Amino acid sequence: MLKIKKQATKRDVLGFRLPMLTHEEPTLDITDITVVDPDNTYYMRMGSEAMTAYRIGKDHILVIDRSLQPVPGNIVVFFHEGDFYIREYCPEKNRLVLKANSPAETLVIENAQRWTCWGVAMLSLNPLLQPQQRTGRYSRVCAC
């Protein structure tokens, strides 16, 4: 039995290459920007208005890195008795202050033994859709 295989014609490129092909950029992957350490990166949804002065609103998504050690001024996630608190990290001499919008929401910790720094917030994803657009498959876009 004879098998016939069609020979592919070779096409030479004639003329000039398209300029856009010489300036190709790699595709944009959001995890390349937001995730430094995949094993220690977590996402959390802000559950209150306690940090609006820091432009972190209710239902914003926070990217948390658990491998970073907090430094003064970081937005951190602290864990205490089953609850998570997202505040600005402000250590003082004999106590730890976790600042929020108002003094009423600010936490002053004298005995830090029962408080655990769970991670450091690296960035906040803010929703931009208008309420009338948040329907169907768009209802949970950026936690809204």
**Residue 1 confidence (pLDDT) above 70:** no
Task: Tell me if residue 61 falls in helix, strand or coil.
Answer: strand
Task: Tell me if residue 36 falls in helix, strand or coil.
Answer: coil
Q: Domain 39-126+133-143 adopts which CATH fold?
A: Umud Fragment, subunit A (2.10.109)
Residue, of 113 and 7, whose pLDDT is higher: 113
DSSP string for residues in 87-122:
EEEEE-SS-EEEE-SSTTT-EEES-GGG-EEEEEEE
**37 contacts: CB under 8 Å, gap ≥ 6:** 65, 67
Per the prediction, the chain carries an average pLDDT of 82
Whole-number CA gyration radius for the chain: 25
What are the tens digits of pLDDT across the range 70-83?
A: 999 999 999 888 88
Region class of 81: left (phi > 0), else alpha (psi between -120 and 50), else beta: left
**For the chain, percent of residues with pLDDT exceeding 70:** 79
